[in-house]
Amino acid sequence: MAEEVKVFGAWGSPYSRRVELALQLKGVQYEYIEEDIPKNKSPLLLKYNPVHKKIPVLLHNGKPIAESLVILEYIEETWKGNPILPEDPYDKAMARFWAKFVDEKCMPALWKAGWSPESEREKPVEEACECLKTLESALGGKRFFGGDTVGMVDIAAIFIGYWLRLIQEATGMELLSAEKFPELFKWTDEFVSCSVVKGSLPPRDKLLAFIKARIAAAMDQAQTNASK
């Protein structure tokens, strides 16, 4: 019997793209189901992720898994080829540490910096730069966080590798530049040039338009709140 592998995602979400990238790196065929978030979540999504009600969900032979980092670990254990985690327990712990850092520190800081109105940007931008600086230290001269190949930390950092520079283009804000963080900047070039990564990213123009629309909506919201 053929394996059933389905991904419930949203095309503009870095979280579901993480899952797709990992599956593509492993050469796993899957069916992709686009969810209309946040307003029209499908009954299947709510059934498969009743706790968080969020994408992504990986469905493997009828069994659902939620939370992108948990899904990445599952993919690594289920399809062994092209490993995304090192063999050595200590190196593996380091990869997990940095993936968690990306999720819990970098993502919220970058999110805040990206969607804040210009007048409130100073502190979030400072925090985001601090995160990027720390993350750059984890690269330590390597081509990828995973060494010579894309690994779990690279996949977790997909937002920094692709979304961030488009957000900068849309806002004129500069968090990540070749001057400020040369190694991390170089990594984003390496990352998006990688053929499998390239094939798993949303189209540039479509994503840029999406980001611009989101920023405009966030600014409108901020103005509405300010005039209340």
Applying CB under 8 A, the residues found at the interface with a copy of itself are 51, 60, 63, 65-67, 69-71, 73-74, 77-78, 89-90, 92-94, 96-97, 100-101, 134
Distance, C-alpha 133 to centroid of its chain: 18
Q: Rounded to the nearest whole angstrom, what is the least distance from the CB of residue 30 to a copy of itself in the complex?
A: 16
Q: Rounded to the nearest whole angstrom, what is the least distance from the CB of residue 204 to a copy of itself in the complex?
A: 32
Q: Which is nearer to a copy of itself, 87 or 148 (CB)?
A: 87
DSSP string, 163-197: IHHHHHHHH---SS-TTT-HHHHHHHHHHHHSHHH
24: enclosing H helix or E strand: helix 14-26
Q: Which is nearer to a copy of itself, 2 or 51 (CB)?
A: 51
Q: Rounded to the nearest whole angstrom, what is the least distance from the CB of residue 83 to a copy of itself in the complex?
A: 14
Place of tokens 């540490």: 97
Q: Which is nearer to a copy of itself, 183 or 190 (CB)?
A: 183
Q: Rounded to the nearest whole angstrom, what is the least distance from the CB of residue 139 to a copy of itself in the complex?
A: 14
CA distance 118 to 77: 44
- Give Cα separations from 33 to 59, 85, 182, 202 (angstroms): 11, 27, 37, 15
Q: Rounded to the nearest whole angstrom, what is the least distance from the CB of residue 96 to a copy of itself in the complex?
A: 5
Q: Rounded to the nearest whole angstrom, what is the least distance from the CB of residue 60 to a copy of itself in the complex?
A: 8
CA distance 189 to 182: 11
Q: Which is nearer to a copy of itself, 74 or 210 (CB)?
A: 74
Cα torsion angle, 218, 175, 191, 157, sign = negative
Q: Which is nearer to a copy of itself, 10 or 71 (CB)?
A: 71
Query: Which backbone phi and psi does 194 adopt, to 5 degrees?
Result: -65, 130
Q: Which is nearer to a copy of itself, 60 or 180 (CB)?
A: 60
